[in-house]
Amino acid sequence: MNWPICRLMCIAAGLSLLAWQTARSDITPASQPATQAAIADTQPTPAVVSLVAKLSDDSFKVRENAQSELIRLAEEAEPSLKALLKTDLSPEAKARVEASLRKIEENRLVGPSIITMHYTDAPMEAVLEDFSKQAGADMGIHRKEIADFIQGKKATVDLDHVSFWTALRAISQSSGLSVPPNVNYGNVTSKMTLEIANRSGPAMDLSVKSMTTAGPFVVIPQQCAMTRVINYGHGMGMGMGVPMNGGSPFSLTMMYACEPKLHIVGGIGNDCIRSVVDDKGHDLSAGRANMFFGMGVQGWCWSIPTQLHEAPDMGKKIATVKGVIKASVMTQSIALVVDDVYKSGAVTKRAGNMAITFTGAKTENNQNTLDFSITAAADNPFVFQQIQMLINQMEVTDANGQRIQVGLRMMNNNNSHMEMSVGAFGPANQKPKKLVWEIPSETRAVEFPFEIHDLALP
């Protein structure tokens, strides 16, 4: 038997014997379950023991594959890895176990979620609770309208180490809930929420064959558009978007959405697509900058068109799209909380060298306004632009806990100070009461490459 495997199996056997001996020892009934649970938590599973043994294999490929599988198992493997780290591992295995634990922790924060669920005829509430827990986000499942809709419903869900997006599709099919990329009624939120299907617009289509994942993001092709134009005489009659040479306006639009556990600060870059190659080898994006702006929807979903170049003798389909999603993810935050905006005095929170003060609320001509005063270091000229981007992260609710849409109404600023008013655009009888504004105090830059294949050309 291979020595690393033998050694690790002996360790696992020893821990099993320890658990058996402890269960037989003379301890009080009150402490026995806790003691057994603590031992069970630190006892490596056979599957993890076998994978860790492969981390010392002579083959680099075997070592890499074993480490990748440990990372994929994520929370399921984490307790075993921590226990094995305290044992006599080879230097290579120890380094890879430590790297795996770091990656699992990083993925928990900014990487893809891995979902495992095995339910047969289970209460829908329990299924949604488990899904939300593994996804690291509530997704609005505790709202009254959702609780009323799923009451009494059962679900059968069988998922084993799948992506968040695969799990979301299965949950949607079994629950009658879906995720609309546009939520433009009174329940506006900056975060992805599950909504009752067909009540808030079309759902995000997660059945598109050519879609792909990029870390915690999903990339969904939406459309490729080409308009043929001929200009007569020195460019007369040119319209917006029509090339000077009378060529063909030609674009590829993708939807990018991130998992609800992520808090993206300032959106994603508009230059996600790096190359578009047709089935004859032409790079349709060569030398063409992205001249369009993406449309962000509530801070978690973006539809971004990229201009393409029509090549002579172009093929009939796009063979490969390559790109990179770049974003800044919040890793720490402060929360500015005001329980009653009309009765509260000034409330100040500090994030780094920035101070944000809620100064009060007022109603004039049936318009509700929340006022803020913000000071920041003069050496950051973009700080006030960043604050404006964070307005859609505000959650303002009325006395019944219903969300109210908000938007920038007025701002004045100099190098280090800004006065800002935010309008609460609820119905006339919907008055804001509570404000919760999560403000990033620490962020991390992330990049996630992706590829998509076989898209038809118009």
pLDDT at 184: 38
- What's the mean pLDDT in 222-245? 66
Contact 285, 319 (CB under 8 A): no
Structure tokens belonging to residue 423: 């309008």
- What's the mean pLDDT in 270-278? 93
Contact 255, 222 (CB under 8 A): yes
pLDDT at 291: 45
Q: How many C-beta neighbours within 10 Å does residue 284 have?
A: 23
% of the chain surpassing 90 pLDDT: 46
- What's the mean pLDDT in 71-84? 87
pLDDT at 198: 83
Band of the pLDDT at 74, cuts 50, 70, 90? confident
Helix (H) or strand (E) holding 135: helix 124-135
Contact 350, 361 (CB under 8 A): no
Band of the pLDDT at 30, cuts 50, 70, 90? very low
Residue where the block lists tokens 């600023």: 413
Q: What is the 3-state secondary structure (H, E, C) of 76-103?
A: HCHHHHHHHCCCCCCHHHHHHHHHHHHH
| Helices 46-54 and 91-110, axial angle in degrees (round to 10) | 120
Kindly state the greatest CA–CA separation across the chain. Answer: 99
- Which residues partner with 400 through β-bridges? none
DSSP-assigned letter for residue 377: -
- What's the mean pLDDT in 350-363? 90
3-state secondary structure of 144: helix
Q: Which domains does the chain have, with CATH numbers?
A: 3-110 (no CATH), 114-196 (3.55.50.30), 216-329+446-456 (2.60.40), 340-432 (no CATH)
Rounded Cα–Cα distance for residues 296 and 61 (Å): 41
pLDDT at 32: 33
Order of strands across the sheet with 417-424? 347-351, 354-364, 367-375, 417-424, 406-413
pLDDT at 125: 96
For 39-60, what is each residue's pLDDT tens digit?
Answer: 345 688 898 999 999 998 999 9
Rounded Cα–Cα distance for residues 261 and 135 (Å): 7
| Helices 60-73 and 46-54, axial angle in degrees (round to 10) | 150
For 142-161, what is each residue's pLDDT tens digit?
Answer: 988 999 999 999 999 999 99
Rounded Cα–Cα distance for residues 75 and 108 (Å): 9
Structure tokens belonging to residue 435: 């404000």
Q: Which residues touch 60 (CB under 8 Å, ≥6 apart)?
A: none
Structure tokens belonging to residue 452: 């998509």
Q: Which residues touch 267 (CB under 8 Å, ≥6 apart)?
A: 294, 296, 299, 302, 327, 389
Band of the pLDDT at 372, cuts 50, 70, 90? very high
Instruction: Print burial letters for 22-44: b (CB count within 10 Å at least 16), e (below 16).
Output: eeeeeeeeeeeeeeeeebeeebb
- What's the mean pLDDT in 220-239? 75
| Helix, strand, coil percentages for the chain (3-state, nearest 5) | 30, 35, 35
Q: How are beta strands 403-404 and 347-351 bridged, if at all?
A: unpaired
The answer on pLDDT for 329 being more than 60 is yes
Structure tokens belonging to residue 233: 């005489």
3-state secondary structure of 392: helix
Rounded Cα–Cα distance for residues 79 and 75 (Å): 7
C-alpha distance from residue 6 to each of 95, 114, 373 (Å): 20, 30, 65
- What's the mean pLDDT in 228-249? 57
Band of the pLDDT at 457, cuts 50, 70, 90? very high
Rounded Cα–Cα distance for residues 221 and 242 (Å): 23
For 171-210, what is each residue's pLDDT tens digit?
Answer: 999 999 999 876 433 334 467 889 998 887 788 899 999 9
Q: Got the DSSP string for 185-229?
A: STT--SS---EETTSSSPPP-TT-TT-EEETTEEEEEEEEEE---
For 299-327, what is each residue's pLDDT tens digit?
Answer: 788 898 999 988 889 999 999 999 999 99
Average predicted confidence (pLDDT) for the chain: 81
Phi-psi region of 176 (alpha: psi -120 to 50; beta: other; left: phi over 0): left
Helix (H) or strand (E) holding 396: strand 394-397
Rounded Cα–Cα distance for residues 390 and 426 (Å): 19
